């Protein structure tokens, strides 16, 4: 990760500061004649008194009533003096605020809503206090919380401590606190009864801030922000500082990560590798933060001039929602993204990591690659395969059976049927290997006295290869059918673990296919089905003692691995084992199966006889 350097220490900063001073001096010289021409002429004595009482004002800041008084000539010298004294006294008692000052006197809230979200903005800090996902499915919230209400993406506890969504992040902590706590003046624009634009403004003698939010009918909104401090532009980045509202425990927070697309390469930074307050400079088509099922992505208007601030902070959360007094330490992630050299203009997505939703959000890139936000849903090394599996599973859900659990059952059945020829081929290869085993062993005994480096070992390999060719034996034919189902597990695991569609999806006694089985019935079924399947398969080339060990070790090991995994993945593997049992039962009734069992029994009797002789 690139090392962060303070902007004040960047090479060339002194030269840029000198250039700014020169430009300011030139502007003053050029505008001085105009200032003299249009500056109102006031009496000398009162002007000195006003100057002593308050800072001098520019013509744009001079109150209109003061200008009018200066233009009216006095009727008499004595009256002139009295009028000037009265004007000075009035100015002292009722000194007007500069036009640039803009502050609200009380806190207020504004609610923005469309078909997808309901955001509650507060003018204290111009931030989002609540960000509820209100999209519905079958009349119910599509993305609900543990109580069945629309999920609020704002992590209330973390946001209260580290900042609410759309707050501004600056390198100056004191300025950052001020920007996110003052009362802004808010202006709303509406169309058709809905808010389409919110403008928040604040200014005082030192700081001037403007934030504009524009809304449409999607999950995306546009953000513009600019900050001036003592006449200079300040790098202030819109942020999502503190995780998401669906993170309830250590597992939920551990799924947090920083994600971005840099030069069209999609990458992610896991929680343990995130450094709080680190600055990443580069070309970013988008950058954001996500957890297991939700994400926020900032899409800069100028992707070639972007700074990404990674945020990581500690938080104490309950170990169990039912026992709030017992807490554990977690880390909450956030991100701030913006233009380091001026005002920031960018789009912001905050919502579910749904493939349909992400693919509908355009991302203009330099090369034209990855034209949408699909990279937010990162399936990993087997990404293309896992994505294809999900598209197939979603099609099954949409067109065959409107239940994700039964869709997994149907998909698993089809996978098992497709792999059946491989299983049959595996048994045929094992049988052929067992038939030629005595010949192979004789050849190996013949060349046993030669070392591995001896050229005559090549003759041994040639003779063995000739036997394989004559008998039609493929040495890897028995391994390939075993490898393919195992390879399928990983992309299926990634798919079922990441797709939000399985979140809170019901199936029989399972209330959430994305979480573990509450009664651990599926892991138990998995172990039992694996035990039965192992005992049904004739192991013609394996020692009986080794076969017995494998028959117990493999199922127990699989049960240990799958014990806490998602119920959807356990369902896939249990169903696959059940279909494998049926297939194995069919194979065992064929002539090939009977021959394999006889050979396995013969080998077992032979080994038993050797054992008796040794005894």
What does the buried/exposed string (b/e) look like for 130-146 if buried means 16 or more CB atoms within 10 Å of the residue's CB? bbbbbbeeeeebbbbbe
Q: What's the pLDDT at 225?
A: 97
pLDDT over 90 (residue 560): no
Q: What's the pLDDT at 70?
A: 31
Work out the average pLDDT over 588-603: 73
Q: What's the pLDDT at 546?
A: 63
Q: What's the pLDDT at 126?
A: 97
CA-based nearest residue to 356, from 416, 324, 320, 397: 397
Chain-wide mean pLDDT for the chain? 79
More confident call, 533 vs 570: 570
pLDDT over 90 (residue 107): yes
CA-based nearest residue to 232, from 495, 78, 23: 23
Q: What's the pLDDT at 436?
A: 78
Q: What's the pLDDT at 208?
A: 96
Q: What's the pLDDT at 535?
A: 76
Secondary structure tally for the chain: helices H, strands E: 16, 20
Q: Helices marked H in 537-590 — which ranges? A: 544-562, 567-588
Distance CA 415, CA 409 (A): 10
Reported as a pLDDT band with limits 50, 70 and 90, residue 577 is confident
Tell me the whole-structure pTM to 2 decimals. 0.74
Q: Find the distance separating the first CA and the last CA of the chain, reported in whole Å.
A: 66
Work out the average pLDDT over 484-509: 84
Q: What's the pLDDT at 45?
A: 36
Least confident of 133-142, 354-363, 563-572, 604-613: 604-613
List, for residues 263-304, the tens digit of each pLDDT value. 778 899 999 899 999 999 989 999 999 999 999 999 999 999
CA dihedral for 84, 85, 86, 91, sign (positive or negative): positive
Q: What's the pLDDT at 138?
A: 84
Q: Could you tell me what percent of the chain has a pLDDT over 70? A: 76
Q: What's the pLDDT at 34?
A: 40
List, for residues 342-372, the tens digit of each pLDDT value. 899 999 999 999 999 999 999 977 666 658 8
Distance CA 468, CA 471 (A): 5
List, for residues 173-188, the tens digit of each pLDDT value. 999 999 999 999 999 9
Q: What's the pLDDT at 91?
A: 43
Per DSSP, 532 falls in state: H
Work out the average pLDDT over 512-534: 88
Q: What's the pLDDT at 451?
A: 79
Bridge partners of 195, per DSSP, are 190
List, for residues 202-261, the tens digit of each pLDDT value. 999 999 999 999 999 999 999 999 999 998 999 999 999 999 999 988 888 999 999 999
Least confident of 23-27, 539-543, 609-613: 23-27
Task: Quickly list DSSP for 341-380.
Answer: TS-EEEEEEEEE--HHHHHTSB---SSS-S-BSGGGS---
List, for residues 446-482, the tens digit of each pLDDT value. 888 887 777 777 888 888 888 888 877 777 665 666 6
Q: What's the pLDDT at 25?
A: 39
More confident call, 524 vs 88: 524
Q: What's the pLDDT at 23?
A: 43
SS3 of 461, please?
helix
What does the buried/exposed string (b/e) look like for 491-510 if buried means 16 or more CB atoms within 10 Å of the residue's CB? bbbbbbbbbbbbbbbebeeb
Q: Give the range with max mean pLDDT: 155-159, 377-381, 420-424.
A: 155-159
Work out the average pLDDT over 490-507: 87
More confident call, 105 vs 606: 105
Q: What's the pLDDT at 320?
A: 75
pLDDT over 80 (residue 408): yes
pLDDT over 80 (residue 518): yes
More confident call, 221 vs 491: 221
CA 156 to chain centre: 19
Reported as a pLDDT band with limits 50, 70 and 90, residue 438 is confident
pLDDT over 80 (residue 331): yes
pLDDT over 80 (residue 543): no
Distance CA 539, CA 535 (A): 9
Count the Cβ atoms, other than its own, within 10 Å of residue 111. Answer: 10
pLDDT over 90 (residue 17): no
The dihedrals phi and psi of 142, each to the nearest 5 degrees, come to: -70, -35
Reported as a pLDDT band with limits 50, 70 and 90, residue 334 is very high
Least confident of 83-92, 253-262, 504-513, 550-559: 83-92
Q: What's the pLDDT at 614?
A: 53
Q: What's the pLDDT at 612?
A: 54
């Amino acid at each position: 990760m690139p090392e962060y350097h303070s902007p004040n220490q960047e090479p060339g900063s002194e030269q840029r500061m000198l250039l700014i001073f020169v430009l300011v001096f030139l502007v003053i010289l050029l505008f001085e004649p105009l200032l003299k021409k249009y500056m109102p002429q006031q009496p000398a004595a009162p002007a000195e008194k006003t100057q002593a009482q308050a800072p001098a004002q520019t013509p744009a800041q001079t109150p209109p009533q003061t200008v009018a008084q200066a233009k009216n000539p006095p009727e008499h010298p004595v009256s002139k003096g009295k009028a000037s004294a009265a004007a000075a006294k009035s100015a002292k008692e009722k000194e007007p605020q500069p036009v640039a000052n803009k502050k609200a006197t009380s806190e207020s809230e504004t609610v923005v809503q469309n078909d997808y979200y309901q955001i509650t903005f507060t003018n204290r800090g111009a931030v989002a206090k609540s960000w509820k996902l209100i999209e519905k499915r079958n009349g119910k919230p599509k993305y609900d919380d543990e109580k069945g209400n629309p999920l609020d993406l704002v992590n209330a506890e973390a946001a209260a401590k580290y900042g609410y969504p759309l707050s501004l992040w600056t390198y100056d902590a004191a300025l950052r606190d001020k920007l996110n706590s003052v009362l802004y003046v808010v202006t709303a624009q509406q169309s058709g009864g809905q808010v389409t634009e919110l403008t928040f403004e604040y200014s005082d003698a030192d700081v001037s801030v403007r934030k504009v939010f524009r809304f449409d009918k999607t999950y995306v909104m546009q953000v513009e922000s600019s900050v001036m401090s003592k006449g200079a532009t300040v790098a202030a980045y819109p942020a999502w500082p503190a995780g998401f509202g669906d993170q309830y425990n250590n597992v939920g927070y551990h799924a947090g990560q920083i994600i971005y697309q840099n030069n069209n390469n999609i990458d992610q930074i896991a929680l343990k590798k995130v450094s709080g307050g680190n600055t990443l400079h580069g070309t970013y088509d988008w950058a954001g933060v996500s957890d297991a099922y939700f994400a926020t992505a900032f899409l800069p208007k100028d992707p070639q001039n972007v700074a990404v601030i990674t945020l990581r902070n500690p938080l104490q959360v309950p170990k169990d929602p039912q026992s709030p007094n017992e807490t554990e330490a977690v880390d909450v992630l956030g991100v701030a993204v913006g233009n380091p050299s001026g005002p920031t203009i960018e789009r912001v997505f905050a919502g579910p990591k749904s493939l349909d939703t992400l693919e509908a959000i355009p991302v203009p890139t330099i090369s034209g690659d990855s034209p949408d936000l699909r990279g937010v849903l990162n399936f990993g090394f087997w990404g293309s395969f896992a994505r294809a599996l999900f598209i197939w599973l979603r099609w099954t859900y949409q067109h065959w059976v409107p239940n994700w659990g039964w869709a997994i059952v149907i998909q698993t059945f089809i996978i098992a049927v497709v792999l059946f020829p491989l299983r049959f081929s595996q048994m045929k290869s094992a049988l052929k290997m067992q038939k030629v085993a005595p010949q192979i062993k004789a050849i190996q005994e013949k060349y046993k006295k030669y070392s591995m480096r001896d050229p005559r070992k090549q003759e041994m390999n040639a003779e063995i290869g000739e036997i394989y060719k004559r008998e039609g034996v493929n040495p890897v034919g028995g391994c390939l059918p075993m490898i393919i189902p195992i390879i399928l597990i990983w992309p299926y695991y990634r798919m079922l673990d990441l797709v939000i569609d399985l979140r809170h999806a019901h199936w029989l006694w399972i209330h959430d296919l994305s979480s573990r089985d509450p009664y651990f019935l599926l892991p138990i079924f998995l172990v039992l089905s694996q035990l039965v399947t192992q005992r049904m398969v004739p192991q013609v080339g394996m020692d009986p003692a080794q076969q017995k060990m494998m028959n117990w070790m493999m199922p127990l090991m699989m049960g240990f691995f799958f014990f806490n995994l998602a119920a959807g993945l356990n369902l896939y593997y249990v169903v696959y084992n059940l279909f494998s049992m049926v297939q194995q039962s069919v194979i065992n009734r064929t002539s090939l199966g009977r021959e394999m069992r006889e050979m396995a029994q013969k080998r077992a009797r032979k080994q038993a006889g050797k054992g008796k002789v040794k005894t």
